[in-house]
């Protein structure tokens, strides 16, 4: 392909390693000067393209870009903004193409979850229909680990490590105090519809009877009597009980255990507070003293305890996206292909966006233990390598040195109103 500019945007909930993907994209684009001119990043994700707010990444030093690899969150801003279907709002897609045209952008890298892969796919189709050649490459990202056709999603491994480490630490705390104090500890973690994150808590277990003793997955309908029975049996046996509960834990009819009532920008129910609900239930029915924690953003922002495997994969996927684009590919997403469990071996693969878009991967049935309160050896075999290795950021004065970019916008070429 002839030399043209590129556009990169971060989408949806940010992670500890999405900037590592950005780092991979930018560093690799800089190595392909024959194909790629300027690399623009969308200010606040795809909104940056719609509003023609294009961050000129060429203004950033090599040091600053390298620093992205160790910086959590979305360095250019992300957004929860889903483009409607082509039928409903073709104007938005046309505007994207107009902005791309105005800035000679022929490469589009979209770093996000299922919704974003869908958008990237549609933009590719529309560009083709409008006779504007555009190489659209999706880059997977989601802490929920729910994209298909990839061994895992960048962001997940680091959340998994955070949850496993925190569970092990809190469990030691509870164990040492349970004789006279807290008997039950409940940790609430993310995962709206898939229990991958909660399942990762199981990695804290070294021996039978180790915490977490109960994992509440969205995939397993919550049955109160069965749950309380298990809590009591665990306290009777071990003196304490540690529970990891997914924010998406639900009853058989699909009602979430705790429903904060609000809706997010995509119309999904905004969740929060299942841990206190579960803790109160235990207190009222069994009388045990409890403590609970809700990790919320702390878990997905915890770059300080990121998985080295996750960081490496996030970077590699960003790099691969650029290589695919300059090779002329479009409507594809680089993936992680696992070739061996132990020691973990993986390589970069490729999936068509049309197949990835809007498919939500749940945990396989054989990953969930018979009683529904834990995971199987197969699940642990899958999960274990994803948290391997530490990749500590540099510290100064006791705090991680995360970079802040200049984020200078390129001059606009189009009318602001559209």
CB of 218 to its own copies, least distance (A): 19
Q: The tokens of 138 are what?
A: 């999706």
Would you count residue 400 as binding its own copies (CB under 8 A)?
yes
What residues numbered 174-233 form the site for its own copies, per CB under 8 A?
A: 174-177, 179-181, 185, 187, 203-204
What residues numbered 48-87 form the site for its own copies, per CB under 8 A?
A: 71-81
DSSP, residue by residue, 200-251 = HGGGG--STTPSPSEEE-TTS---HHHHHHHHHHHHHHHS-EEEEEETT-B-
CB of 65 to its own copies, least distance (A): 17
Q: The tokens of 15 are what?
A: 């992670």
> Closest Cα partner for 202 from 369, 15, 389, 388?
369
What residues numbered 94-153 form the site for its own copies, per CB under 8 A?
A: none
What is the Cα–Cα distance from 234 to 94, expressed in whole angstroms?
59
Q: Which sequence positions are flagged as catalytic?
A: 144
DSSP 8-state code for residue 57: G
What residues numbered 259-298 form the site for its own copies, per CB under 8 A?
A: 262, 264-265, 270, 272-273, 275-276, 283, 289, 291-298
What is the Cα–Cα distance from 24 to 234, expressed in whole angstroms?
46
Would you count residue 343 as binding its own copies (CB under 8 A)?
no
CB of 16 to its own copies, least distance (A): 8
What residues numbered 156-185 form the site for its own copies, per CB under 8 A?
A: 161, 164-166, 168-170, 172-177, 179-181, 185
CB of 77 to its own copies, least distance (A): 5
* Near its own copies by CB under 8 A: residue from 28, 44, 117, 142: 44
Binding characters for its own copies, 378-397, by CB under 8 A (x = yes): ------x--xxxx-x--x-x
Residue 122, preceding bond cis, omega within 30 degrees?
no
37 versus 114: smaller Cβ distance to its own copies: 114
10 versus 135: smaller Cβ distance to its own copies: 10
Choose one: 55-63, 122-130, 346-354, 398-406; the region binding its own copies (CB under 8 A): 398-406
Would you count residue 399 as binding its own copies (CB under 8 A)?
yes
Backbone angles phi, psi at 111, to 5 degrees: -105, 95
3-state secondary structure at position 142: coil
Close Cβ partners of 227 (under 8 Å, ≥ 6 residues apart): 214, 216, 373
């Amino acid at each position: 392909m002839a030399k043209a500019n590129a556009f990169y945007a971060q989408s949806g909930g940010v992670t500890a390693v999405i900037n590592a993907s950005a780092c991979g994209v930018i560093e690799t684009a800089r190595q392909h000067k024959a194909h790629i001119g300027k690399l623009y990043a969308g200010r606040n994700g795809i909104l940056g393209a719609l509003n023609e707010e294009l961050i000129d990444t060429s203004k950033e030093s090599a040091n600053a870009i390298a620093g992205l690899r160790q910086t959590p969150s979305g360095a250019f801003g992300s957004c929860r903004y889903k483009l409607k279907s082509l039928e409903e709002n073709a104007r938005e897609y046309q505007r994207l193409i107009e902005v791309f045209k105005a800035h000679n952008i022929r490469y589009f890298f979209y770093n996000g979850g299922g919704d974003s892969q869908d958008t990237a796919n549609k933009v590719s189709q529309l560009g083709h229909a409008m006779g504007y050649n555009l190489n659209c490459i999706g880059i997977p990202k989601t802490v929920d680990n729910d994209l298909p056709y990839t061994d895992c999603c960048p962001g997940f491994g680091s959340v998994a490590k955070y949850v496993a480490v925190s569970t092990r630490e809190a469990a030691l705390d509870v164990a040492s105090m349970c004789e006279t104090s807290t008997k039950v500890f409940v940790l609430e973690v993310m995962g709206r519809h898939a229990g991958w994150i909660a399942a990762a808590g199981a990695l804290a277990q070294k021996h039978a009877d180790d915490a977490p003793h109960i994992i509440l997955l969205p995939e397993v309908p919550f049955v109160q009597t069965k749950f309380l029975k298990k809590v009591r049996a665990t306290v009777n046996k071990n003196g304490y009980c540690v529970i990891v509960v997914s924010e998406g834990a639900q009853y058989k009819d699909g009602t979430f255990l705790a429903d904060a009532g609000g809706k997010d920008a995509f119309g999904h129910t905004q969740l929060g507070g299942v841990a206190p609900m579960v803790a109160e239930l235990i207190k009222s029915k069994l009388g045990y003293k409890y403590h609970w924690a809700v990790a919320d953003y702390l878990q997905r922002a915890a770059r300080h305890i990121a998985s080295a495997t996750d960081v490496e994969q996030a970077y590699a996927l960003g790099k691969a996206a650029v290589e695919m684009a300059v090779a002329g590919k479009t409507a594809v997403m680089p993936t992680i292909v696992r070739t061996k469990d132990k020691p973990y071996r993986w390589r970069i693969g490729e999936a068509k966006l049309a197949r990835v878009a809007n498919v939500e991967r749940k945990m396989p049935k054989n990953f969930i233990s018979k009683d529904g309160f834990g995971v199987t050896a197969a699940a642990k075999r899958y999960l274990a390598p994803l948290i391997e290795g530490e990749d500590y950021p540099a510290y100064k004065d006791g705090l991680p040195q995360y970079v802040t970019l200049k984020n200078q916008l390129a001059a606009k070429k189009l009318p602001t109103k559209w």
